[in-house]
Structure 1
């Protein structure tokens, strides 16, 4: 199946080629790169751009079939009535470089190494006589023929190197070609298989679509089964690899099943001379790694093709050789990656795996974030008679994978009689945690832990109390959680300490105890790094860490924390990259970077809602909806949070964040008083629960929407909440209450300096309105212009204050609110129901608004508040 592939990720290279062709006195450009990276496509795009500028463009390519034909590359331009070579060459040069009417000429040349001598001579003459510009593609690493070297010496060529596409550009390319969203796991598989080689990527995707291996499920393109290398592409790769001596083939095959390998290890398994030959043929690459040299196969598809052709018995034998060599080189190594590699190789080798190695490797695979591999290795450990431990690992891994029922079956099947007190308590923790989070049954989770608590010895009690702390946190009872955690030390319970750290960090963040939240988060990271059971919990901790910093007003620090988490996630398989994107998206939202926030949170929500609809998928819908509503995309925001009402979850209700998202939607639709009322109500609930930082943010948002009643409470909160935000918000509420435009203008700059661009916009917009009411039009224009300029940097921000700050219409807040709602398309009755007013009252406000604005109809008044733009 042929797809239409967009031109993506090459804007810099295209500009460089265009500049080289436009440079006076230059001969043209040499476009270099590995086979398949897109050199020819870049040249074609450059010729198209030149044609659009009025240049005459020519394009030709060498071929094996035309190599024996004189002037075979330029047959299309050869005169038919000329017999001698000199006249023939002159005729070709004239046809190529002397168009009628005259115009500058650029000639694109592919595969110049397959030009016959006379065709090469024509190019040499064009360059030497400067008859036209020339763009030549050359494959990196290949020997450049003498004739081509002479052409390059005859002129002055710029060099543009085309690298493989980045992972992000590869994703954009596949998404553009398929015309729809691509599952992040599928994207990662494609990237790992093709490594930015456009030619390989196109062949694999097109064949997969044609064969039904790449299909649309729930609006996403996903692999059905494992990625397959098309036979035609495999044949082409084999031809590029060429016929190999047995020793060289062994080098490639060893790396295909066990890359990367230290060079010394590879040479011991094969032979140094064979390794050298494989490198000289560009089949493998050698790269510095620590204090040594690491060998890898030159491209993943080389290994795929070799494995496809090799007998399974040969590959199993080679894996056994590598595993034995790794064991001999470092028999006591506790390097997690080495242990996991040894076990993985042994599983698919002709040897008998060691049970102890398998258990250690299963722990290691969890630590590395490869939960599927951890389950596979743990299953092998169970079969090898490794005891209870591998089933504990399996249950833990399956729970994180969203396979709660499977996890419960494995964990409930463990015979507790043979367990120590600590392992019995640890089992109870894992069962209860799985029941709470994966199976969403808090009552059964509490029952499991209560039953275990009755028979748990004192020295194993930390596991019980750790779960109860997490449980009370999940039930939104932070005071009980803190009481339960009083005697716990994170380092005493390494397996579950990271989850405990997440709960405590979030509780302290919500309360405004920033220092405590940060300290717990940092301690939690340390526990997670030491533990072999808590890789993904790092991102939960980071989420709480970001919350604490954003609540406090340390926005730039929050983005640093999020960026670090995202970098860590990039190295882990499965959903980890989505979690990293989600945390970074929340930090971007806190900074007012709405474009980035929407991009990252959209990616996270779509990828996490399938496997974790009531967990991460649910949690990150809320900030995503808030970001959309801030951009005025209220219909889209409503659609994002609509599924939450259909599938309520029985833990961590996220009352504050749900209310915040809904308030932004309501305010964006014009129901500002409704939004303020809901924010005041959630602020009261936060106050009662001791979540004072959330209370500050709720009252801040209400103030930005126009509320003028919270100054006294915010002043009291300055002594309860850490960080610069609460002080600025207290001043904002006071300035809004006092209608102090100068203070509002000052606060806009201070919010910007703190990093909250949204608040900076709204403070300036509120200042503009206050100045206008004081009849200080010049100052109002300054504030209004500042608000608009800041909003542009936020990526499409549209707030109530921004709209009203730029509005010079003489309306009251209620009149403006009603006019905005009818601008949204609501009938008078719908407006009355929305604002809890009588229809007659609404009609009276509309009449007065029409009188003040000089409009003669309801439709004209509505036109003053046009409906918000919709996402495309």
Structure 2
């Protein structure tokens, strides 16, 4: 991740958090008090580390004369040169500013008049040079001069500054727009260094928004902001400020997201596709009479455009002139078009491309034209008169229909344009368009199109499409009604599709598993061999796996070929193989899972040849999900095999499709279900690796996706993980909120035991270790009964970490002997070392855990080893182990656990004393400790006296400090995570900040 420079306060004022103008939901649904947004002030500098490092080198070089930043408007040139000036001040240089403007550019010395001695005459630059040189002769070092907009310098100032640079009296920091007029001040020689700025990338945008908002931004929202702003820092700022003022951007306590009802369908393109708006004048003549669905809002219009942003973009568009205006409006309304669609003169297109207003791309012999920036379309649509807008849309629709509308996506585009222009479209066109939307995963758009089909024409084809779109939108009851109401005369194929969708719908409800299996049985009865039957088997395996019966799922698919069939459609095999690989991973058959998942992934991304053709057909049906789903079992298998770094990389590829990254072109088309599971797996892998803040962030992402589409089954696991990660980060308020919400969801057998992880860690965070161990022991038994060795090993390891190592070491050793994964073996060794309290074994297992990427477990082992060596009088070994622990803990993002707190004791505490010490340090009175641990108050007080003696303290406050130990070892962790503060030191609401 890029570093963030904080030259001035940029976050919310002390003691307040994000929230002005709206309320935000915590994990449990409670609202938080509003707080001020960062609506004013300078934002932090992000993503410019390389440029700042280069500036420092140039400034230190006595032969350098200047540092000039070049880039397009709004990219952050002025912000960077301001930061360079601040860096020069910090180095002890004297600095001044030369103020440029259009008006001053016609006045001799207009930019530098305030810097000149009074005897300098504007008509005599030579006199000016002599006077200024004499004035600067006694300075200790070169004068650093900041000149923003170098091209606006008047000629006299240019001559004077060039002379002063040549003799080494001044060092110029300047900015100039790429493609703009040059200035004589810049001579690109060895003395003047140039830095070319590009727009911010997705990672830098994420860093910037997290720094400004005090918490992470959801992938969907980040994807929208990155795409709409184009990485332009100025545009991004205005979009965010407008959304904050209007309440369109809000936080749930962990993630900032575009609020419900503001998001466009994922594939909406212009008037009927990705990222553009339907005109507000949508009319429904001839339709169902329903209002235009809110979900057909354009992403650009969903983000409120501030007047300043509209003026900035409008000024840029004004350069096109009136003659090119219709062409730009057509691109704004219709999206990607070809030169023939626009009927424009070639020179006009060349001029617009050279001006940076349109972009041309070629694929084979076809040339496609789009607007150069998404915001151009937003402003143009707002300014296009209604009648001209309708005429443009109809003209383009008729042009495509005249050519046969045979290209992928043509039906969607034509239907949307006709509806936007006239409010009417033919039923056949609407059905074809809705089918294209469903295949692309844009179910909100499909519903909007199907709403225009008259009731008299609701055929079985309509009901299947409508039911699928309702199902994927989380409207389960409506979906069941639509799918169960097929008309008489339905074909066998239509009946099987309806049964398959109904089974999936009932299963997602969370409590109707047997009914779902019954419908799946009915669909399988008499189903011929082929992709359709394989899809039904894949569905059945998924239902069995999610119902806590992964072994049955694997057995069901035992006859599945190890590789895709050479002939026919491979779609069914891909889904069935993915389901089998997932079941294998969850039952501990790690190597088999990895091999099969690798085969699936290789089939989807095959090299040229016959397999590539099958992969192409598969992607045509499931263009994104087929690429992402194999990554889920791959990540699970790699994690259990003890390759956590590789597992994290695989999981990151899966979640890249939710925002910027290698799969960014897929957007949200992978479907909410696949996206949610990709986020769940990434969160789990981050937790296993000890990256607790990352785990929290991805559990929150998964929860948001699950709520969006009504996915009930994973919610207990997701909220439990959210609770656990918040508790380990010290945010017990947010952890409790997640735990409260968790109780509203039914138990899922697949995650038996792991859904109690959050409750256990919250108890541990509050010092109730005995209670936490009891919860985890029962949870491990449930995981064992469900046939989940990986879950049982995870839970038993946490028992060991909370003081129960002797209790679980034997069982962990059995699991390690029976399993294939390196992670369980390392866990077993950790439990055995903790049980023996052997520093050498603890140091050895810390090395093993660090090698496989389990950083938090390794840090705990090293910390405990250091404490044991100190008690044994071995300071050298203790220091080495403590240094290793600090190195590991720096990667754990602010995590705090009992082992880290008590690992620094100079005298060992018993398990009972440790429980009492942690409760007392947390402020729990003796009578409440006694009630919690089922002891008498006198016994508690006696134990406390022994604890005070062992630790050399006399009060509970001193006890808390003693147990806090060396948490300062985490000095390299992000400051806002460690201290719960904004980058400038102001305290913020922990619930949002801890998610960083």
Mark yes or no: TM-score above 0.5.
Answer: yes
Alignment partner of 2:636 out of 547, 561, 574: 547
Alignment partner of 2:589 out of 513, 531, 535: 513
The CA deviation at 1:43 is: 1.9
The CA deviation at 1:565 is: 0.8
Specify whether residues 665 and 494 from structure 1 end up closer, same or farther in structure 2 by C-alpha distance, changes over 3 A only: farther
CA contact (8 A) 1:182 1:222 kept: no
Q: Are 1:569 and 2:655 matched, yes or no?
A: no
After alignment, is 818-827 or 710-719 more displaced?
710-719
CA contact (8 A) 2:336 2:369 kept: yes
Counterpart in 2 of 1:411?
A: 483
Counterpart in 2 of 1:85?
A: 123
Deviations 1:592-633 (A, max 9, x none): 2334434444455467556658456654333333334444x2
The CA deviation at 1:195 is: 1.2
Deviations 1:509-537 (A, max 9, x none): 33212244445656776599557469569
Secondary structure at the aligned position of 2:905 is classed as: coil
Counterpart in 2 of 1:109?
A: 147
Distance in 2, matches of 1:731 and 1:775, equals 25
Distance in 2, matches of 1:179 and 1:791, equals 23
Distance in 2, matches of 1:685 and 1:339, equals 52
Secondary structure at the aligned position of 2:763 is classed as: helix
Q: Are 1:754 and 2:754 matched, yes or no?
A: no
Q: Are 1:458 and 2:536 matched, yes or no?
A: no
Specify whether residues 520 and 783 from structure 1 end up closer, same or farther in structure 2 by C-alpha distance, changes over 3 A only: same
CA contact (8 A) 1:539 1:583 kept: no
Secondary structure at the aligned position of 1:795 is classed as: coil
Alignment partner of 1:190 out of 206, 225, 245: 225
Q: Are 1:370 and 2:442 matched, yes or no?
A: yes
The root-mean-square deviation of aligned C-alpha atoms, in Å, is 4.3
Distance in 2, matches of 1:298 and 1:134, equals 33
Deviations 1:118-141 (A, max 9, x none): 333333333344331112221111
Deviations 1:760-818 (A, max 9, x none): 33343454566567665654554344334322333334333344443221432322232
Alignment partner of 1:170 out of 198, 202, 205: 205
After alignment, is 27-36 or 193-202 more displaced?
193-202
Distance in 1, matches of 2:918 and 2:425, equals 70
Greater RCO, CA 8 A, separation 6+? 2
The CA deviation at 1:29 is: 1.5
Secondary structure at the aligned position of 2:890 is classed as: helix
Structure 1 unaligned residues grouped into runs of 5+: none
CA contact (8 A) 2:459 2:487 kept: no
Specify whether residues 748 and 268 from structure 1 end up closer, same or farther in structure 2 by C-alpha distance, changes over 3 A only: same
Distance in 2, matches of 1:641 and 1:418, equals 49
Specify whether residues 452 and 568 from structure 1 end up closer, same or farther in structure 2 by C-alpha distance, changes over 3 A only: closer
After alignment, is 84-93 or 115-124 more displaced?
84-93
Distance in 1, matches of 2:815 and 2:248, equals 55
Counterpart in 1 of 2:371?
A: 297
Secondary structure at the aligned position of 2:359 is classed as: strand
Distance in 2, matches of 1:845 and 1:635, equals 27
The CA deviation at 1:33 is: 0.8
The CA deviation at 1:56 is: 2.8
The CA deviation at 1:249 is: 3.6
Deviations 1:827-866 (A, max 9, x none): 2222233333343433332233344445455665555324
Superposed, which structure 2 residues align to 1:685-696 within 5 Å?
685-696=782-793
Superposed, which structure 2 residues align to 1:111-126 within 5 Å?
111-126=149-164
Q: Are 1:557 and 2:646 matched, yes or no?
A: yes
Distance in 1, matches of 2:832 and 2:868, equals 13
Alignment partner of 1:278 out of 333, 344, 352: 352
Deviations 1:416-440 (A, max 9, x none): 4232233223213323422432xx3
Counterpart in 1 of 2:502?
A: 431
The CA deviation at 1:67 is: 3.8
The CA deviation at 1:482 is: 5.5
CA contact (8 A) 1:436 1:442 kept: yes
Deviations 1:678-719 (A, max 9, x none): 333222222222212222222233334441133443343345
Secondary structure at the aligned position of 1:16 is classed as: helix
Higher helix share: 1
Superposed, which structure 2 residues align to 1:153-164 within 5 Å?
156-164=191-199
Distance in 1, matches of 2:756 and 2:217, equals 31
Structure 2 unaligned residues grouped into runs of 5+: 1-37, 263-301, 605-614, 968-977, 982-996
Distance in 2, matches of 1:668 and 1:789, equals 23
After alignment, is 347-356 or 474-483 more displaced?
347-356
Q: Are 1:395 and 2:464 matched, yes or no?
A: no
Distance in 2, matches of 1:729 and 1:77, equals 69
Counterpart in 1 of 2:177?
A: 139
Secondary structure at the aligned position of 1:130 is classed as: coil
After alignment, is 98-107 or 156-165 more displaced?
98-107
Distance in 2, matches of 1:164 and 1:384, equals 52
Distance in 2, matches of 1:634 and 1:213, equals 26
CA contact (8 A) 1:127 1:154 kept: no
Counterpart in 1 of 2:283?
A: none
CA contact (8 A) 2:692 2:892 kept: yes
Specify whether residues 111 and 777 from structure 1 end up closer, same or farther in structure 2 by C-alpha distance, changes over 3 A only: closer
The CA deviation at 1:39 is: 1.4
Distance in 2, matches of 1:34 and 1:653, equals 53
Alignment partner of 2:329 out of 232, 237, 253: 253
Alignment partner of 1:238 out of 300, 314, 325: 314
The CA deviation at 1:560 is: 3.0
Q: Are 1:622 and 2:691 matched, yes or no?
A: no
Specify whether residues 452 and 64 from structure 1 end up closer, same or farther in structure 2 by C-alpha distance, changes over 3 A only: closer
Counterpart in 2 of 1:815?
A: 913
Distance in 2, matches of 1:467 and 1:613, equals 16
Distance in 2, matches of 1:431 and 1:814, equals 54
Alignment partner of 1:8 out of 45, 64, 72: 45
The CA deviation at 1:562 is: 0.7
Specify whether residues 190 and 154 from structure 1 end up closer, same or farther in structure 2 by C-alpha distance, changes over 3 A only: closer
Specify whether residues 343 and 18 from structure 1 end up closer, same or farther in structure 2 by C-alpha distance, changes over 3 A only: farther
Specify whether residues 741 and 704 from structure 1 end up closer, same or farther in structure 2 by C-alpha distance, changes over 3 A only: same
